[in-house]
Amino acid sequence: MSTTSVLGGVVRRKEDPALIRGTGLYTDDVKKAATVHVAFVRSPLAHARITRIDTEAARNAPGVLAVYTIDDVRHLGPLPAQVPVGKLRPLLADGVVNHVGEAVAMVVAETRAQAVDAADLVEVDYDPLPAVVDLKQAASDQIKVHEDLESNVILTWEAGPWGNEEGIAETKAKIAEAKGRGDTVTVSLEMRNQRLLPTAIEPRSVVAEWNPGYERFDVVSATQIPHALAGAIAKTFGLASNAVHVLAPEVGGGFGCKLNIYADEILVCFAARELGRPVKYTETRRESANNTIQGRGWIGTATLVGTQDGEILGYELEALCDMGAYSQNFTAAIPFLGVFVGSGQYRFPTYMKLDCVATHTQTTDAYRGAGRPEAIYYLERIIDAYARKIGKDPAEVRMKNFIPAEDFPGVVSPVGFAMDTGDYAKNLRALIESDAYRQLVAERDRLRSEGRLAGVGIATYVEVCGFGPSGLADLGFSWSAYGLPSSFNGSGLVRVNPDSSVTVIIGTGPSGQGHQTTWAQIVSDQLGIPIDRIRVIHGDTAESPMGIGTFGSRSAAVDGSATYLAAQKVRAKAARLAAHLLEAAEEDIEFGDGGAYVAGSPDKRVTWEEIATVAYQPHRLPEGVEGGLEAHAIFSPANATWPFGSHACLVEVDEETGDVRILRYLTVDDCGNVINPMIVAGQIHGGIAQGVGQAMFEEAVYDAEGNLLTPSLLDYILPTAVDLPSFELKRTVTPSDVNPLGVKGIGEAGTIGSAQTVVNAVVDALSPLGVEHVDMPLRPKRVWQAIQDAKGGN
């Protein structure tokens, strides 16, 4: 191997100087000449019939070029969805509005201020209809979200295992039998996993231009899925996908909310072609809250039955999952990701029934973790409640019910999914046998001895990510809905340029993950070319082979592996060229110190410059060798990857006010091999912050009429560094066997592992008072109320 291995080493992020200095290019920074601007007229009601739209005053307002309604764009059809159940979203409201903030008309003007002013002049008359916001009420079908749908329950996912009716019946029978036994313990809790706003710091933004000469759209968008967007635009306008060029430049946070196709992205293209001008739309923070997809929103009952000594005999989760009014990209598929990990890293029979329920609210879709944090939350909360009930150490109960390491490979989980690799007991032991964990427990006991309310929570998790495999396409997961029927493959192209600099082109792009650095490390490790000579191109559909996008913690495992394979091909060709130049055997060539040399004779060497020069001067090549020095690889993994880990934290609760403080937070994560420990740590930090955010602060609150009461960062409280302790991270390493890098993915793990850790700790703190559960977010008012209720009940 190379002598300059940089895999597994801390390499400072190449992209940071530009991002920190404000010289990175974001979509709203794109200033095309003669650009015109968009403002939307939005519904103030959650459900109403539109009886009149008068656009005349707006059309005559200063600077206005056009005002569009559904009549102008109905022929373009609704937005496509991967799981086309429920109601697809029309590009603009079509006769009826179904959530507050739904776009009714689109104003295009010379300046943004003129567009916003003119939008105020559009008159819309509404005939209000009854709205349904509450999930249970919606599930009862008393009020229909859409008249033409049979039920508000647009899809039900059932597992135990998934897709196996006989197995489901068997699992249900086993659980019923265990409950019926006289010597078992059954615990059951109804819990909310509240709705969240993804809140990328960069709001969504898109600018589109139609080039009539080339018959091509040029689109810049803050998206996680540029190829899918190109496909969607092409399909909508009846063009080939190569007639649409989409660039996703720097993307300032995605978390899944930019893993979608939005009506505004199609509408700016429509207006650009109609008006012959570049058209730009950048959402405001309020529009981001109301109109970009939201996440979570489950209410469910978890029930667990086990023996008095901690052997779990069965687990059930029945939940209602809020879909919002319209189905978009993955909407109804998100709970399915919860089914994937529904039995966690455990071996007990598991039954799940997840109802996807439409409501008169904004669409929900992927938000960091997407279905998996919800599922793991219910599982890890109910295991904790069970351990508490039987008076056992929650770590011990988990340990007792894990799938043993020796069962790998070949594990199929109780909900029916093949898992790659795992050693859950080793991971949890690394947490609970650490000095830090012992200190946590000791500190809790010390605080308690002073009469204070302190608690330690632990939780373990497994997640599924790194999608592929290719077979997911048979379940409907591909970009077929956007006319690009590609599986969730990875893609990587490595090109050594004539000056021996390297260009790497990949199918995914960063929204903060550090692709510039990680991919440079992968390629540098293979070729021995320094990282600062390697540049990574991403997010550009004109340059990049078909790419799927950055989501589901998949980039490194899938596109990273593709790039690794491409780099190996380049290395093999370079070895052949070096052998030719050095008059040596190909198998004797080694790489290092900026070139190649003959094994055992390091002075017999050629530089990368010499190799590259030959590659681009074909007359100097050996016979039968093609010119150029580049390779492309498509990688489809044999399976998704299954990272896992254990979290613990110490909290103190102010009994008088209900105020919760997190004093320490520990994790032991296992994401397989690590390419850059600093980037992995950063991902875990951000993930925990968002999980703690859900546990403590964040909630998209709707009133009964469907108004979002938390549309600004004044009301929607995001965690900041001030609110969080320093995280103490450790890891175990259990490489994946489904990709050549042995990596698993770490983008969502922190979020999936953390919310229930905090809630478990707070319940532990309040357990002396008899509190069994507090719903998130653990705002002081709610914790205080739980304390009062427990005291009242005593």
User: Alpha carbon of 665 to those of 24, 369, 644, 754, 761: distances in Å?
Assistant: 33, 20, 17, 9, 11
Q: Which amino acid is at 123?
A: E
CB of 518 to another protein, least distance (A): 32
CB of 749 to another protein, least distance (A): 25
Q: Does 71 bind another protein (CB under 8 A)?
A: no
Q: Characterize the bridge pairing of strands 36-42 and 103-109.
A: antiparallel
Number of chain residues interacting with another protein (CB under 8 A): 30
- Rank residues 118 and 320 by Cβ distance to another protein and give the closer one: 118
Hey, which residues between 274 and 293 contact another protein (CB under 8 A)? 284, 286
Hey, which residues between 317 and 376 contact another protein (CB under 8 A)? none
Asked if 526 contacts 568 with a C-beta cutoff of 8 angstroms, the reply is yes
Q: Does 721 bind another protein (CB under 8 A)?
A: no
- Rank residues 142 and 720 by Cβ distance to another protein and give the closer one: 720
Q: Does 784 bind another protein (CB under 8 A)?
A: yes
CB of 558 to another protein, least distance (A): 37
Q: Does 25 bind another protein (CB under 8 A)?
A: no
Q: Does 789 bind another protein (CB under 8 A)?
A: no
Residue in 287, 364, 368, 369 with CA at minimum distance from that of residue 330: 364
* Residue-wise DSSP of 425-484: HHHHHHHHTSHHHHHHHHHHHHHHHTT-EEEEEEEEEE--BS---GGGGGGT-SBGGGTB
- Rank residues 243 and 717 by Cβ distance to another protein and give the closer one: 717
Cβ partners under 8 Å of residue 391, min gap 6: none
Residue in 144, 120, 119, 130 with CA at minimum distance from that of residue 49: 130
Q: Which of 601, 701, 770, 791 binds another protein (CB under 8 A)?
A: 701
* Residue-wise DSSP of 247-315: E--B----TTTTSS--HHHHHHHHHHHHHTS-EEEE--HHHHHHHS-BEEEEEEEEEEEEETTS-EEEE
The token duo for 25 is 């290019």
- Rank residues 655 and 728 by Cβ distance to another protein and give the closer one: 655
Q: Which of 112, 144, 388, 773 binds another protein (CB under 8 A)?
A: 112
Question: Distance (Å, rounded) from C-alpha 654 to C-alpha 660?
Answer: 6
- Rank residues 470 and 710 by Cβ distance to another protein and give the closer one: 710
Q: Does 659 bind another protein (CB under 8 A)?
A: yes
- Rank residues 660 and 674 by Cβ distance to another protein and give the closer one: 660
Q: Residue 85: how many CB atoms within 10 A of its CB?
A: 16
Q: Residue 323: how many CB atoms within 10 A of its CB?
A: 32
Say what angle helices 372-390 and 749-766 make with each other, to 10 degrees: 30
Binding part of the chain for another protein, among 68-76, 574-582, 659-667, 753-761 by CB under 8 A, reads: 659-667
Q: Which of 12, 438, 620, 661 binds another protein (CB under 8 A)?
A: 661
Q: Does 785 bind another protein (CB under 8 A)?
A: yes
Helices (H) and strands (E) in the chain, counts: 20, 26
- Rank residues 144 and 779 by Cβ distance to another protein and give the closer one: 779
Q: Which of 715, 768, 770, 791 binds another protein (CB under 8 A)?
A: 715
| ∠ CA 573-575-578, rounded to 5° | 115
- Rank residues 371 and 777 by Cβ distance to another protein and give the closer one: 777
CB of 791 to another protein, least distance (A): 12
User: Alpha carbon of 594 to those of 591, 606, 610: distances in Å?
Assistant: 8, 9, 11
CB of 139 to another protein, least distance (A): 26
- Rank residues 438 and 661 by Cβ distance to another protein and give the closer one: 661
Q: Which amino acid is at 97?
A: V
Binding part of the chain for another protein, among 317-325, 340-348, 453-461, 711-719 by CB under 8 A, reads: 711-719
CB of 723 to another protein, least distance (A): 6
User: Alpha carbon of 672 to those of 65, 153, 344, 643: distances in Å?
Assistant: 55, 38, 17, 7
Question: Distance (Å, rounded) from C-alpha 710 to C-alpha 285?
Answer: 11
Q: Which of 19, 546, 621, 717 binds another protein (CB under 8 A)?
A: 717
Binding part of the chain for another protein, among 374-382, 496-504, 651-659, 763-771 by CB under 8 A, reads: 651-659
> What SS3 string covers 57-121?
HHHCCCCEEEEECHHHHHHHCCCCCCCCCCCECCCCCCCEECCCCCEEEEEEECCHHHHHHHHCC
Residue 651 pairs in a beta bridge with 455, 662
- Rank residues 577 and 761 by Cβ distance to another protein and give the closer one: 761
Q: Which of 23, 60, 617, 657 binds another protein (CB under 8 A)?
A: 657
- The sign of the dihedral angle between the CA atoms of 80, 81, 85, 86 is negative
Q: Which of 74, 446, 781, 791 binds another protein (CB under 8 A)?
A: 781
> What SS3 string covers 197-212?
CCCCCCCCEEEEEEEC
Binding part of the chain for another protein, among 294-302, 356-364, 607-615, 704-712 by CB under 8 A, reads: 704-712
Question: Distance (Å, rounded) from C-alpha 640 to C-alpha 634?
Answer: 16
Q: Residue 627: how many CB atoms within 10 A of its CB?
A: 12
Hey, which residues between 723 and 762 contact another protein (CB under 8 A)? 723
CA atoms within 13 Å, Cβ hemisphere of 142:
10
Q: How far is CA 378 from the centre of its chain?
A: 19
Q: Which of 656, 792, 793, 794 binds another protein (CB under 8 A)?
A: 656
CB of 121 to another protein, least distance (A): 12
CB of 775 to another protein, least distance (A): 15
Asked if 82 contacts 477 with a C-beta cutoff of 8 angstroms, the reply is yes
Question: Distance (Å, rounded) from C-alpha 73 to C-alpha 485?
Answer: 25
Q: Which of 410, 722, 726, 794 binds another protein (CB under 8 A)?
A: 722
Terminal-residue alpha carbon distance, the chain: 68
- Rank residues 170 and 723 by Cβ distance to another protein and give the closer one: 723
CB of 120 to another protein, least distance (A): 8
CB of 322 to another protein, least distance (A): 19
Binding part of the chain for another protein, among 66-74, 507-515, 678-686, 708-716 by CB under 8 A, reads: 708-716
Residue in this structure with the two tokens 């009716």, named with its chain if needed? 165
- Rank residues 170 and 659 by Cβ distance to another protein and give the closer one: 659
Q: Which of 57, 116, 621, 790 binds another protein (CB under 8 A)?
A: 116
- Rank residues 33 and 722 by Cβ distance to another protein and give the closer one: 722
Binding part of the chain for another protein, among 222-230, 300-308, 551-559, 720-728 by CB under 8 A, reads: 720-728
CB of 102 to another protein, least distance (A): 18
- Rank residues 237 and 784 by Cβ distance to another protein and give the closer one: 784
Q: Which of 26, 237, 408, 697 binds another protein (CB under 8 A)?
A: 697
Cβ partners under 8 Å of residue 401, min gap 6: 310, 311, 312, 346, 347, 348, 383
- The sign of the dihedral angle between the CA atoms of 47, 48, 53, 58 is negative
Residue in 484, 409, 482, 405 with CA at minimum distance from that of residue 639: 409
Q: Does 780 bind another protein (CB under 8 A)?
A: yes
CB of 112 to another protein, least distance (A): 6
Q: Does 709 bind another protein (CB under 8 A)?
A: yes
- Rank residues 137 and 710 by Cβ distance to another protein and give the closer one: 710
Q: Does 447 bind another protein (CB under 8 A)?
A: no
Q: Does 779 bind another protein (CB under 8 A)?
A: yes
Q: Characterize the bridge pairing of strands 244-247 and 216-221.
A: parallel
Q: Does 710 bind another protein (CB under 8 A)?
A: yes
Q: Does 63 bind another protein (CB under 8 A)?
A: no
Site for another protein, rule CB under 8 A: 112-113, 116-117, 284, 286, 656-661, 696-697, 701, 709-710, 712, 714-715, 717, 719-720, 722-723, 779-781, 784-785
